Amino acid sequence: MQNKQLPNVHLRKEWDLRVRTWFNQPGRKLRRRRARVAKAAKIAPRPTELLRPAVRCPTVKYNRKVRVGRGFTLEELKAAGISAKYAATIGIAVDYRRRNRSEEALARNVERLKAYHAKLIVLPLSAKKRSAADVEAYKNAVQISGQPIPVAAETETEAPRAITAEEKKSNAYITLRKTRGDFRSAGYIEKRKLTLKQAKENAKK
């Protein structure tokens, strides 16, 4: 302290009025759990969650991972023969913003929709139109908690193994740098070759 000044900090004025406590967290946890159980019982035997698509995570770092997305695109629903309005009534999530950028992802989600639709039991609103088989199947149906069709991980983990002599000799960093350099200078090399070729032809004339 300058001039040996005694510290006298005034930061203790009514601090207890501005303290944020979290004593209600256990109670809220219990309340949320009871609400989930009550909702599941109310909608039974329907699944507790809407059917959602399998999508890849964004960016190069995470795009190897497949996860549950927001909703199916209009293109996916059309390929599966389901309208967007009807999908909302049978437990299928719809996303109007997402676009399909690969045939593989489109085919995967169309198969997902068809598999769900094949297992679906839809009872008509009118009791007269309900068949005895449908009513029996509806009574025997078991409620699924979570995703009706789980998203399976596509990547398989490789079992541990010994490193080969060839792998020990190779250098990943040098290989990547060389490939990147070849790719970046490909146009310049081609142009240089063409220029030399034209120069030789002109010299012959």
Residues 6+ apart with CB under 8 A from 47: 91, 143, 144, 145, 146, 147, 148
Taking the whole predicted model, whether its pTM rises above 0.85 is answered as no
Q: Using 50 as the pLDDT threshold, list the residues of the chain that sit under it.
A: none
Beta-ladder partners of 51: 92
- Residue 27: the pLDDT is 97
d(CA 56, CA 68) in angstroms, rounded, equals: 8
- Residue 78: the pLDDT is 97
Per residue in 64-89, pLDDT (tens digit) is 899 999 999 999 999 999 999 999 99
d(CA 133, CA 136) in angstroms, rounded, equals: 5
Q: Closest Cα to residue 66, out of 158, 150, 148?
A: 150
No. of H helices and E strands in the chain? 8, 2
Q: Closest Cα to residue 52, out of 32, 33, 35, 77?
A: 77
Half-sphere exposure of 94 (CA within 13 A, CB side): 15
